[in-house]
Amino acid sequence: MEINKLLNTGSNHLKNSNIFTHKLDSEILLSKILNQTREELLINLDKKVSLKNIKQFNKLIKRRSNREPIAYILRKKEFWSKNFVVNKNTLIPRPETELMVEKIVNIFQNKKPFILDIGTGSGCIIISILSELKEALGIGVDISNNGIKIAIKNSKKHQLLNKIRFYRKSFTQIFNYKFDLIVSNPPYIVSKDMRNLEDDIKKFEPKLALDGGNDGLDVIKKVIYKSKTILKVKGMLALEIGNEQFKKVSKILRENKFRTRYIVKDYRENVRCILSTLEN
């Protein structure tokens, strides 16, 4: 079967499963099987595909039609112009989080912050920051052992093992450290809203990294409380938050002696990150 025909077959199968990006996904999956770029694929549409490769492609199409995210099928996701290893033990990095990284990099340019990443997952946030801030050092913590393994793999991949350490532990167990910057993308989805998530997220991404409790603020509150004891005075806390959580989170920050310095909005003008400093 030719590439063109196979792509159409895959695309139609995904379309019938209500996959909105059916054409693109079909191209990405066949590119993986043939070990080619999408561009190479699309200029060789009349080339024949071996039976072995057709079978492999059909398997991947079936996985995607069951709503498994492309990132998990490929075992990688681009973030901050880098490829990160991801799997079902880690959240898939989102473009909104890059906006937080960009703000942090701008603020700490030419400085030497000691950074803590709470709930590090794939390590994409702290690795991206440390790749830009040449004098910075950091620690990433997560309670998922499998998540930490992925983070370590990513720090090796991006040659940052000398600047960062990852530990499997709760952030509540961190003592005897004082950080210049604490960054976190904690779970912030209200428990009852979990069932309304798209199947791609609900069925495959780790619930531990999504479910923020009854009001979506359970972990956010704990991060704020803990940060008071392990941040230097004037140290910064960068928190990613959910839609419409800005007012509530701002109030909790104020009550805990944090002063909001910057906010970061997503592409739809929703506030998605609050950067605040610990005051005396």
User: Residue 71 domain-assigned?
Assistant: no
> Are both 55 and 84 inside the same structural domain?
no
- Comparing 18-27, 48-57, 95-104, 210-219, the range with the smallest average pLDDT is 210-219
User: Residue 72 domain-assigned?
Assistant: no
> Are both 117 and 201 inside the same structural domain?
yes
pTM for the model: 0.91
> Are both 113 and 156 inside the same structural domain?
yes
> Are both 31 and 131 inside the same structural domain?
no
**Domain count within the chain:** 2
Residue 188 three-state SS: coil
- pLDDT, mean of residues 247-264: 95
In this prediction, residue 236 carries a pLDDT of 97
> Are both 237 and 130 inside the same structural domain?
yes
Q: Say which CATH number the domain at 223 has.
A: 3.40.50.150
Q: Write the pLDDT tens digit of every residue in 181-218.
A: 999 999 899 888 888 889 999 899 988 888 888 888 99
> Are both 62 and 138 inside the same structural domain?
no
Q: Which percentage of the chain shows pLDDT scores above 70?
A: 100
- Comparing 17-21, 60-64, 213-217, 245-249, the range with the smallest average pLDDT is 213-217
The single-letter code of the amino acid at 121 is G
> Are both 125 and 260 inside the same structural domain?
yes
Stretch (H or E) spanning 253: helix 246-255
Q: What letters, b where the CB count within 10 A reaches 16 and e where it falls short, cover 91-129?
A: bbbbebbbbbbebbbebbeeeebbbbbbbbbbbbbbbbb
User: Residue 210 domain-assigned?
Assistant: yes
User: Residue 149 domain-assigned?
Assistant: yes
- Of 45, 66, 87, which residue sits at a domain end? 66
Q: Give the C-alpha separation, 88 to 146, whole Å.
A: 9
> Are both 24 and 147 inside the same structural domain?
no
User: Residue 178 domain-assigned?
Assistant: yes
257 neighbors 228 (Cβ within 8 angstroms) = yes
> Are both 228 and 249 inside the same structural domain?
yes
> Are both 202 and 267 inside the same structural domain?
yes
In this prediction, residue 184 carries a pLDDT of 96
Name the nearest CA neighbour of 258 among 234, 274, 278: 278
Name the nearest CA neighbour of 259 among 247, 274, 248, 273: 274
The residue segments making up the domain with residue 212 are: 77-278
User: Residue 123 domain-assigned?
Assistant: yes
> Are both 92 and 37 inside the same structural domain?
no
> Are both 107 and 213 inside the same structural domain?
yes
Max intra-chain CA distance, the chain? 70
Q: Write the pLDDT tens digit of every residue in 98-153.
A: 999 999 999 999 999 999 999 999 999 999 999 999 999 999 999 999 999 999 99
